Amino acid sequence: GNSVTQMEGPVTLSEEAFLTINCTYTATGYPSLFWYVQYPGEGLQLLLKATKADDKGSNKGFEATYRKETTSFHLEKGSVQVSDSAVYFCALYSGGSNYKLTFGKGTLLTVNP
């Protein structure tokens, strides 16, 4: 079946540090890939997505590239801010009538001033 593995947290960084959160996946076919962000006390918001190999999703300074050869979709940001503190979820959709998103377990990021 489908699965998503993302790096265990928590991740603690200082403001302006470089961020990488690793995400690898196992799926049939050609999945769509997503990063969702959950700020404290809020629901999940779509951060970025990529729908085919070599696509780069980007939003709010975050980027992730769909790498089919390594089945990866790592999230990066060049300079994090305190306001980026949140839980980040990698997710995929590989087709199927249930339209189910398969999520990783989430990575808690804390950015200190």
Partner 1 sequence: EAQVTQNPRYLITVTGKKLTVTCSQNMNHEYMSWYRQDPGLGLRQIYYSMNVEVTDKGDVPEGYKVSRKEKRNFPLILESPSPNQTSLYFCASGLTGLASYNEQFFGPGTRLTVL
Tell me which residues touch partner 1 (CB under 8 A).
Answer: 4, 32, 34, 36, 42-46, 49, 51, 89, 93, 97-101, 103-106
**Can you tell me the distance from the alpha carbon of 60 to that of 76, in angstroms, rounded to the nearest whole number?**
11
Identify whether the C-beta of residue 99 lies closer than 8 Å to the C-beta of residue 34.
no
For partner 1, the closer of residues 57 and 80 by Cβ is: 57
Distance CA 93, CA 15 (A): 33
Residue with Cβ nearer partner 1 (36 or 73): 36
Phi and psi of 84, rounded to 5°? Answer: -85, -5
Shortest CB 106 distance to partner 1, Å: 6
- Pick between residue 18 and residue 39 the one whose CB is nearest to partner 1: 39
